[in-house]
Chain A
Amino acid sequence: MEFFNLTMHQIKEKLGKKDVKATEILDDVLKRIDDVEDKIGAHITLTEDMAYKKAEEIDKKIENNQSIGILGGIPMSIKDNICTEGILTTCASKMLQDFVPPYSAAVYEKLLTEDAVMLGKSNMDEFGMGSSTETSFYKKTKNPWNMSKVPGGSSGGSAAAVSAGECFFALGSDTGGSVRQPSAFCGVVGLKPTYGLVSRYGLIAVANSLDQIGPITKDVKDCALVLNIIAGHDPKDATSDKRKRIDYLQGLDDGIDGLKIGIAEQYFDEELSEPVENALLEAIGVFKDLGATCKMVSLPHTKYAMAVYYIISQSEISTNLSRFDGVKYGHRTSDYKNIDELISNTRGEGFGDEVKRRIIMGTYWLNGDNYKKYYEKANEIRKFIKQDFNNIFSECDVLLAPVTATTAFDLGLGCNIPSEKYKVDRYTVPANLAGIPAISIPCGFHDGLPIGMQLMGRKFDEGTLLKTAKAFEGSTDFNSRPKL
């Protein structure tokens, strides 16, 4: 029997009824990987041995009627910028080609505690910098819906793996859209939680005031299931929020009668392609039928979001990546005569062009008077962008927007035109700047490629987002899997 196209909650049910063994599920997923991974290229590292060990352990527990964790027997992929003890963690960079961390990210530990089966590390743009997974030092990942298209990025490997049935869920990280955009391109569900909801301990930082780890799943219920595990306070992350944990499965099916949905004029701009706009307009109709009211709202500072994002993220990148100097771990040049050469040649050889470009830009924004001129200004404007969201969330519960202007673009297109590429993030970046939660769910197809819809919500109100997404998913039929 084939299992790889089932959702997590379906697998959970089967395991619970002892209809199937964890090892059988793993067999099936590994067979699927055998069949499609060469074409898709979603993973940098596969951990089959480890996976079998864990699956066997779980089968034994089930056999002995011992209780298993919530994710017991469910194979997962983890983005390669999330530290996994004893498993290669490269950030898709030459710099960390042989880096095996002696510690784990908090989220990974939580997932292991719930008995998830670790299957592998997924491909990404180098250090999360890119929107197509093409800046990876190791391989190009293909979009499972169309092999000539990119999967999106930077969590492109994670989204492609889930979409292609190579795992049941994956973790990504989202700094400016890196979970939502590939999820939209690959036709899966991707959530960027509120900043502070999920511990960043063990996530190799890109821009630490924007980064947030999020689940990529096949449907909304699975998303809630994973969020239940990874959310919650972590004393090792000072920015992690202390509020009480919520069960995101509770109320998931409550419906959205009376929900107030805002539609921001700034997100339906001249960049938005017709197919995506049409899909969103139809989605608005669906929400109305479900009992929601929709109204136009305005977020006037949205037009500054990209400029603010460049400056803040690149500034943070320039200092976050300073630790890669070849002294203690990672790549070290063999071409040096003194310490200065060791550091600069290591960085010259270890980082790709996009990473260097952003480090150089960030260094510029922070240099001397530029700090006041650019970085401080950007932070001031960031406050206005946050305020915009506060204002609209006093009159509506959810904001509906596109994730991307178009469907997945051609491979090779995004690589050499950085300024063009940055535009890809235009609809996703504001949520990171404001620290609010945002989810991408499938809402249509165009030319055989999935279209994503973005729903943004109040801080720590993932519950409403998930409920809204679930209502839409339940009354539409866009949640399908690619034929491979």
Chain B
Amino acid sequence: MKTVIGLEIHVGLLTKSKMFCSCSTDLGNIQNSQCCPVCLGMPGVLPSLNKKVIYYGIMAGLALNCNINKRSKMVRKNYFCPELVKGYQITQYDEPLCSGGFLEIGRGDTIKKIGINRIHIEEDTGESIHAYEDETLLDYNRSGAPLIEIITEPHLNSGEETREFLETLKDILKCIGVSDVKTGEGSFCFDVNINVVDTGRNISTDITKLKNLNSFKSVTKAIEFEENRHRQLIEQNKDTCRGTRHRDDVENRTRIMGAEAVTDEYRYFPETDIMSIVLSDEEINEIKKSLTGLLPYIGGS
């Protein structure tokens, strides 16, 4: 029996200004003090893509041995929620900035390559604050702040491996300076996709998604819990149901969040208010040079 784990990791970038406007990305200031018509999604305004976000995305991609795509584009991911100011999030989908990389974990004889499927750039949303019983307050200071999302291949096989991967990733991102990778403050959080495969009988459980984990401890614990649950199901020949689960740190268990089927209907759509991102070899090499010496991972290749 084998546990199969893939990760989606959100990393807040250390740019001074937001992704599409000049508002500050500083954390911890008075609610809604870092907003403008653009990051509030007011009618008629247009996004101007912050070049630094592309630059940082490429740095992360190079550090994780990815191909930097010379042409990538932004799309709209459509869904309604009060934290999302425009009714869509500007992100990437079919043409991401970086694709096909890897990150090595382990040492000596036990080195293992964990595949990186893609890295894309996207905007963060605002936050809900449930201050009173009947009222929800909204803070849009994070709205439009830049993120990268790193999506791994399902190459991880245990909670321990996952933790090691995340720690290594954190060190790399910190070292190249694209993020402060603070787990508690939302600049480093992860979704875990997990299932269990019975290789002998060639059957597997359906994939469960554990969303918004933001500490290494909660990741390993959530994976452990989910691993056991899936193993029991497969032993009883029962399938798990496909769904999004929420980590409950207090009760040390995961809870189902609602059918994932809903999230398949994002109606991804080209964001034509932003031009395609077109990069030259020179530009990419320039960034590569700036990374040389920073990390042992990045050779002269």
Contacts and interface: CB of A to CB of B under 8 A. Distances in A.
B87 A203 contact: no
Contact of B43 (A200, A204, A237, A239): A204
B86 A201 contact: no
B295 to A, nearest CB: 33
Interface string B86-124: 111000000000000000000000000000000000000
Interface string B174-208: 00000000000000000000000000000000000
Contacts of A203: 44
Contacts of B81: 339
B85 A101 contact: no
A103 B42 contact: yes
Nearest to B35: A328
B297 interface: no
Nearest to A364: B267
A101 B267 CA distance: 29
Contacts of A208: 272-273
A325 B82 contact: yes
B101 to A, nearest CB: 28
B85 A239 contact: no
A173 to B, nearest CB: 11
Interface string A183-218: 000000000000000001111110011000000000
A371 B48 contact: no
B234 interface: no
Interface stretch (A56-64, A149-157, A315-323): A315-323
Contacts of B265: 367-368
A363 interface: yes
Nearest to A95: B43
Given A83-B43, A99-B43, A325-B80, A239 B48 contact: no
B277 to A, nearest CB: 11
Contacts of B45: 103, 201-202
Given A322-B80, A323-B85, A83 B272 contact: no
A339 B136 CA distance: 10
Contacts of B49: 238
A366 B269 CA distance: 8
Contact of B269 (A101, A200, A239, A319): A319
A246 interface: no
A294 B205 CA distance: 71
B76 interface: yes
Contact of A238 (B44, B76, B268, B273): B273
B78 interface: yes
B46 interface: yes
A434 interface: no
A12 to B, nearest CB: 30
A102 interface: yes
A313 to B, nearest CB: 12
B154 interface: no
B37 A323 contact: no
Nearest to A82: B44
Nearest to B136: A339
B41 A105 contact: no
A484 B269 CA distance: 48
Contact of B78 (A89, A319, A328): A319
B74 to A, nearest CB: 10
Contacts of A237: 46
Contact of B42 (A101, A209, A322, A339): A101
Given A319-B269, A323-B86, A343-B80, A239 B275 contact: yes
A239 B74 CA distance: 14
B147 interface: no
Interface string B116-145: 000000000000000000001010000000
A95 B136 CA distance: 22
A236 B82 CA distance: 26
A96 interface: yes
B78 A96 contact: no
A327 interface: yes
Contact of A328 (B44, B85, B274): B85
Interface in A301-335: 315-316, 318-319, 321-325, 327-329
B267 A105 contact: no
The interface size bin for chain A is: 35 or more
A40 B183 CA distance: 62
Nearest to A205: B44
B35 to A, nearest CB: 10
B267 A367 contact: yes
A213 B88 CA distance: 24
A327 B46 contact: no
Contacts of A340: 80
B169 to A, nearest CB: 32
A367 B268 CA distance: 9
B267 A366 contact: yes
Scoring B45, B82, B86, B274 by chain A CB atoms within 10 A of each residue's CB, the highest score goes to B45
A329 B42 contact: yes
B40 interface: yes
Contacts of A327: 82, 138
Contacts of B44: 81-83, 89, 101, 103, 105, 201-205
A325 B41 CA distance: 11
A154 to B, nearest CB: 16
Interface in A403-439: none
Contacts of A96: 43
A103 B37 CA distance: 8
Nearest to A326: B82
B47 interface: yes
Contact of B86 (A91, A235, A322, A363): A322
Contacts of B272: 208-209, 239, 316
Interface in A367-395: 367-368, 371, 375
B80 A238 contact: no
B137 to A, nearest CB: 12
B46 A102 contact: no
Contact of A239 (B37, B82, B267, B273): B273
A7 to B, nearest CB: 30
B122 to A, nearest CB: 16
Contacts of A83: 43-44
Nearest to A327: B82
B91 to A, nearest CB: 13
Contacts of A209: 272
A238 B274 contact: yes
Nearest to A210: B272
Nearest to A322: B87
Contacts of B47: 238
B267 A363 contact: yes
Given A319-B88, A323-B85, A324-B43, 10 more contacts: A89-B43, A91-B43, A103-B42, A204-B43, A238-B275, A239-B275, A321-B87, A323-B87, A367-B265, A371-B269
What 4 A-B pairs are tightest by C-beta distance, nearest first?
Answer: A322-B87, A366-B267, A204-B43, A204-B44
6 contacts: A101-B37, A201-B45, A238-B49, A315-B269, A319-B76, A325-B87
Interface of B: 37, 40-49, 76, 78, 80-82, 85-88, 136, 138, 264-265, 267-269, 272-275
